[in-house]
Protein backbone atom coordinates (compact mmCIF):
# COMPACT_ATOMS: atom_id res chain seq x y z
CA UNK A 1 0.00 0.00 0.00
CA UNK A 2 1.38 3.44 -0.88
CA UNK A 3 2.39 5.40 2.19
CA UNK A 4 -0.09 8.20 1.54
CA UNK A 5 -2.95 5.67 1.46
CA UNK A 6 -2.31 4.57 5.05
CA UNK A 7 -3.79 7.62 6.74
CA UNK A 8 -6.63 10.04 6.08
CA UNK A 9 -5.55 13.07 4.05
CA UNK A 10 -6.79 16.64 4.14
CA UNK A 11 -9.37 17.54 1.51
CA UNK A 12 -10.85 20.86 0.36
CA UNK A 13 -12.92 23.12 2.62
CA UNK A 14 -16.62 22.41 2.11
CA UNK A 15 -19.30 24.63 3.65
CA UNK A 16 -16.52 26.17 5.74
CA UNK A 17 -15.70 22.78 7.26
CA UNK A 18 -12.53 20.70 7.04
CA UNK A 19 -12.69 17.46 5.10
CA UNK A 20 -10.69 14.25 4.95
CA UNK A 21 -10.05 11.67 2.24
CA UNK A 22 -9.72 8.01 3.15
CA UNK A 23 -8.49 5.26 0.83
CA UNK A 24 -10.32 1.95 1.20
CA UNK A 25 -9.10 -1.24 -0.45
CA UNK A 26 -11.88 -3.31 -2.03
CA UNK A 27 -11.42 -6.13 0.48
CA UNK A 28 -11.97 -3.64 3.32
CA UNK A 29 -15.10 -2.08 1.83
CA UNK A 30 -17.76 -4.54 3.10
CA UNK A 31 -16.87 -3.71 6.72
CA UNK A 32 -16.02 -0.03 6.20
CA UNK A 33 -18.14 2.24 8.45
CA UNK A 34 -18.64 4.61 5.50
CA UNK A 35 -20.22 1.96 3.23
CA UNK A 36 -23.88 2.73 3.91
CA UNK A 37 -23.53 6.48 3.38
CA UNK A 38 -21.18 5.99 0.43
CA UNK A 39 -23.75 3.79 -1.28
CA UNK A 40 -26.48 6.35 -0.57
CA UNK A 41 -24.44 9.13 -2.22
CA UNK A 42 -23.93 7.01 -5.35
CA UNK A 43 -27.58 5.97 -5.62
CA UNK A 44 -28.85 9.51 -4.97
CA UNK A 45 -26.62 10.87 -7.73
CA UNK A 46 -28.24 8.45 -10.15
CA UNK A 47 -31.72 9.35 -8.96
CA UNK A 48 -30.96 13.06 -9.39
CA UNK A 49 -30.34 12.72 -13.14
CA UNK A 50 -33.36 10.52 -13.86
CA UNK A 51 -35.53 13.53 -14.56
CA UNK A 52 -34.13 13.51 -18.11
CA UNK A 53 -35.70 11.18 -20.72
CA UNK A 54 -32.28 9.63 -21.36
CA UNK A 55 -32.57 7.25 -18.44
CA UNK A 56 -35.37 4.93 -17.28
CA UNK A 57 -38.41 6.54 -15.61
CA UNK A 58 -38.24 7.73 -12.02
CA UNK A 59 -38.03 4.90 -9.55
CA UNK A 60 -35.42 2.82 -11.37
CA UNK A 61 -32.28 2.29 -9.35
CA UNK A 62 -28.65 2.21 -10.42
CA UNK A 63 -28.13 -0.68 -8.02
CA UNK A 64 -31.48 -2.50 -7.68
CA UNK A 65 -29.65 -5.18 -5.70
CA UNK A 66 -28.64 -2.63 -3.08
CA UNK A 67 -25.18 -2.45 -1.56
CA UNK A 68 -24.60 -6.13 -2.38
CA UNK A 69 -24.76 -5.36 -6.10
CA UNK A 70 -22.69 -2.23 -5.56
CA UNK A 71 -19.93 -4.36 -4.04
CA UNK A 72 -20.19 -6.92 -6.84
CA UNK A 73 -19.48 -4.24 -9.43
CA UNK A 74 -16.21 -3.16 -7.82
CA UNK A 75 -13.29 -5.34 -8.85
CA UNK A 76 -11.09 -6.92 -6.20
CA UNK A 77 -8.06 -4.79 -7.14
CA UNK A 78 -9.91 -1.48 -6.82
CA UNK A 79 -9.28 1.41 -4.47
CA UNK A 80 -12.26 3.43 -3.27
CA UNK A 81 -11.67 7.00 -2.09
CA UNK A 82 -14.16 8.66 0.24
CA UNK A 83 -14.30 12.39 0.98
CA UNK A 84 -16.08 13.18 4.25
CA UNK A 85 -16.34 15.91 6.84
CA UNK A 86 -13.48 15.78 9.34
CA UNK A 87 -15.77 16.02 12.36
CA UNK A 88 -17.84 13.04 11.18
CA UNK A 89 -16.02 10.77 8.75
CA UNK A 90 -19.20 8.78 8.08
CA UNK A 91 -20.81 11.94 6.66
CA UNK A 92 -19.78 11.19 3.08
CA UNK A 93 -19.46 14.08 0.62
CA UNK A 94 -18.09 12.30 -2.44
CA UNK A 95 -16.53 9.09 -3.67
CA UNK A 96 -14.50 7.83 -6.62
CA UNK A 97 -13.11 4.39 -7.49
CA UNK A 98 -9.96 3.48 -9.41
CA UNK A 99 -8.88 0.10 -10.79
CA UNK A 100 -6.00 -1.15 -12.97
CA UNK A 101 -6.88 -2.06 -16.53
CA UNK A 102 -10.28 -1.37 -18.04
CA UNK A 103 -13.03 -2.04 -15.53
CA UNK A 104 -16.37 -2.32 -17.32
CA UNK A 105 -19.43 -0.97 -15.50
CA UNK A 106 -22.09 -3.33 -14.24
CA UNK A 107 -22.09 -6.91 -13.06
CA UNK A 108 -21.29 -9.73 -15.47
CA UNK A 109 -25.02 -10.46 -15.81
CA UNK A 110 -25.73 -6.80 -16.65
CA UNK A 111 -22.94 -6.78 -19.24
CA UNK A 112 -24.43 -9.90 -20.83
CA UNK A 113 -27.87 -8.26 -20.86
CA UNK A 114 -26.44 -5.14 -22.50
CA UNK A 115 -24.69 -7.27 -25.12
CA UNK A 116 -27.99 -9.03 -25.90
CA UNK A 117 -29.86 -5.74 -26.15
CA UNK A 118 -27.17 -4.32 -28.41
CA UNK A 119 -27.50 -7.34 -30.67
CA UNK A 120 -31.27 -6.95 -30.75
CA UNK A 121 -30.79 -3.27 -31.64
CA UNK A 122 -28.52 -4.22 -34.54
CA UNK A 123 -25.34 -3.01 -32.86
CA UNK A 124 -22.21 -5.05 -33.51
CA UNK A 125 -19.04 -5.41 -31.48
CA UNK A 126 -18.41 -4.65 -27.86
CA UNK A 127 -20.14 -1.85 -26.00
CA UNK A 128 -16.69 -0.86 -24.78
CA UNK A 129 -13.90 0.34 -27.05
CA UNK A 130 -10.76 0.41 -24.92
CA UNK A 131 -9.45 -2.85 -26.36
CA UNK A 132 -9.51 -1.21 -29.79
CA UNK A 133 -6.98 1.43 -28.74
CA UNK A 134 -3.35 0.50 -29.51
CA UNK A 135 -1.11 0.26 -26.46
CA UNK A 136 1.75 2.75 -26.55
CA UNK A 137 5.24 1.76 -25.47
CA UNK A 138 5.57 2.11 -21.69
CA UNK A 139 1.81 2.55 -21.23
CA UNK A 140 -0.36 1.32 -18.36
CA UNK A 141 -4.14 1.67 -18.14
CA UNK A 142 -6.33 2.58 -15.18
CA UNK A 143 -10.09 3.02 -14.94
CA UNK A 144 -11.82 5.80 -13.02
CA UNK A 145 -15.37 4.89 -11.96
CA UNK A 146 -18.29 5.98 -9.82
CA UNK A 147 -17.26 9.62 -9.38
CA UNK A 148 -20.20 10.90 -7.33
CA UNK A 149 -20.75 14.01 -5.22
CA UNK A 150 -23.58 14.44 -2.74
CA UNK A 151 -26.45 16.07 -4.61
CA UNK A 152 -26.76 19.13 -2.34
CA UNK A 153 -23.01 19.81 -2.64
CA UNK A 154 -22.66 19.57 -6.41
CA UNK A 155 -21.43 22.38 -8.70
CA UNK A 156 -18.83 23.57 -6.19
CA UNK A 157 -15.73 22.13 -7.84
CA UNK A 158 -15.64 19.04 -5.63
CA UNK A 159 -15.84 16.63 -8.60
CA UNK A 160 -12.92 18.38 -10.32
CA UNK A 161 -10.86 18.27 -7.14
CA UNK A 162 -11.63 14.60 -6.56
CA UNK A 163 -10.89 13.57 -10.15
CA UNK A 164 -7.48 15.22 -9.90
CA UNK A 165 -6.94 13.45 -6.58
CA UNK A 166 -7.78 10.11 -8.22
CA UNK A 167 -5.36 10.78 -11.07
CA UNK A 168 -2.58 11.62 -8.63
CA UNK A 169 -3.33 8.48 -6.62
CA UNK A 170 -2.97 6.42 -9.80
CA UNK A 171 0.36 8.11 -10.50
CA UNK A 172 1.57 7.08 -7.07
CA UNK A 173 0.48 3.46 -7.55
CA UNK A 174 2.22 3.32 -10.93
CA UNK A 175 5.41 4.78 -9.50
CA UNK A 176 5.34 2.29 -6.65
CA UNK A 177 5.12 -0.53 -9.21
CA UNK A 178 7.98 0.99 -11.22
CA UNK A 179 10.17 1.14 -8.12
CA UNK A 180 9.65 -2.52 -7.21
CA UNK A 181 12.40 -5.06 -8.04
CA UNK A 182 12.02 -5.97 -11.71
CA UNK A 183 9.18 -3.47 -11.91
CA UNK A 184 7.91 -2.14 -15.24
CA UNK A 185 9.28 0.98 -16.86
CA UNK A 186 5.94 2.72 -17.20
CA UNK A 187 6.07 6.21 -18.66
CA UNK A 188 2.50 6.76 -19.84
CA UNK A 189 -0.77 6.41 -17.97
CA UNK A 190 -4.03 6.07 -19.88
CA UNK A 191 -6.95 7.09 -17.68
CA UNK A 192 -10.19 5.49 -18.88
CA UNK A 193 -13.90 5.73 -18.13
CA UNK A 194 -17.29 4.80 -19.55
CA UNK A 195 -20.27 7.11 -19.31
CA UNK A 196 -23.42 8.38 -21.01
CA UNK A 197 -22.36 11.04 -23.49
CA UNK A 198 -25.53 13.11 -23.28
CA UNK A 199 -25.13 13.45 -19.52
CA UNK A 200 -21.38 13.63 -18.93
CA UNK A 201 -19.57 13.75 -22.27
CA UNK A 202 -19.21 17.54 -22.38
CA UNK A 203 -17.96 17.65 -18.79
CA UNK A 204 -15.09 15.28 -19.51
CA UNK A 205 -14.33 16.68 -22.97
CA UNK A 206 -13.73 20.12 -21.45
CA UNK A 207 -11.20 18.50 -19.11
CA UNK A 208 -9.08 16.88 -21.79
CA UNK A 209 -10.75 13.49 -22.17
CA UNK A 210 -11.08 12.08 -25.70
CA UNK A 211 -13.65 9.68 -27.15
CA UNK A 212 -12.48 6.12 -27.82
CA UNK A 213 -15.80 4.66 -28.97
CA UNK A 214 -19.45 5.65 -29.16
CA UNK A 215 -22.48 3.38 -29.33
CA UNK A 216 -25.76 5.16 -30.00
CA UNK A 217 -28.49 3.11 -28.37
CA UNK A 218 -32.16 3.41 -29.45
CA UNK A 219 -35.22 4.34 -27.36
CA UNK A 220 -36.13 1.53 -25.01
CA UNK A 221 -32.53 0.46 -24.46
CA UNK A 222 -32.22 -0.69 -20.82
CA UNK A 223 -35.56 1.00 -20.20
CA UNK A 224 -34.63 4.49 -21.42
CA UNK A 225 -37.30 6.62 -23.06
CA UNK A 226 -35.19 8.34 -25.69
CA UNK A 227 -32.10 6.17 -26.00
CA UNK A 228 -28.60 7.42 -25.29
CA UNK A 229 -24.98 7.13 -26.33
CA UNK A 230 -22.54 4.91 -24.48
CA UNK A 231 -19.11 6.47 -24.71
CA UNK A 232 -15.66 5.28 -23.69
CA UNK A 233 -13.27 8.13 -22.97
CA UNK A 234 -9.59 8.31 -22.19
CA UNK A 235 -6.76 10.67 -21.35
CA UNK A 236 -3.14 9.69 -22.07
CA UNK A 237 -0.73 11.40 -19.66
CA UNK A 238 3.03 11.33 -19.21
CA UNK A 239 3.86 9.91 -15.78
CA UNK A 240 5.22 12.79 -13.65
CA UNK A 241 8.91 12.39 -12.94
CA UNK A 242 9.65 10.63 -16.25
CA UNK A 243 9.61 13.62 -18.58
CA UNK A 244 12.25 16.21 -19.45
CA UNK A 245 12.29 17.52 -15.86
CA UNK A 246 12.36 14.19 -14.02
CA UNK A 247 13.71 15.86 -10.89
CA UNK A 248 10.27 17.25 -10.12
CA UNK A 249 8.20 15.32 -7.58
CA UNK A 250 5.63 13.00 -9.09
CA UNK A 251 2.71 14.31 -7.09
CA UNK A 252 1.67 15.95 -3.90
CA UNK A 253 -1.37 14.34 -2.33
Q: What is the pLDDT of residues 36-89, one digit of tens each?
A: 999 999 999 887 876 566 776 656 677 888 899 899 889 999 999 999 999 999
Instruction: Quickly count: other Cβ atoms within 10 Å of residue 202's Cβ.
Output: 10
Question: What mean pLDDT, rounded, does the chain reach?
Answer: 84
> How many degrees, rounded to 5, is the angle at CA 102 between CA 170 and CA 44?
80
Domain covering 3-238 in this structure, CATH number: 3.40.630.30
pLDDT, one tens digit per residue, over 92-150 is 999 999 999 976 655 566 566 666 766 776 665 555 556 678 889 999 999 999 999 99
Burial 219-231 (b: 16+ CB within 10 A, else e): eebbebeebbbbb
* Global pTM value: 0.85
Beta bridge partners of 188: 139, 238
pLDDT band, residue 218 (cuts 50/70/90):
confident
Domain range summary for the chain, segments of one domain joined by +: 3-238
CB of 82 closer than 8 Å to CB of 153: no
Q: Give the pLDDT confidence score for residue 65 in this predicted structure.
A: 84
Interatomic CA distance for residues 238 and 186, integer angstroms: 9
Amino acid sequence: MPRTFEHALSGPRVNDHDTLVRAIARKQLPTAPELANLFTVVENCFQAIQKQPILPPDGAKRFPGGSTQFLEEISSDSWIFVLSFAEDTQDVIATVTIAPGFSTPGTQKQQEDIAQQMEAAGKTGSAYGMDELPVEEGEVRWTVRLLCVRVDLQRRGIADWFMKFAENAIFELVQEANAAPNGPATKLVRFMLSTIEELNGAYYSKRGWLAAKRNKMPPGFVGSEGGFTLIDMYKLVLLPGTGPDASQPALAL
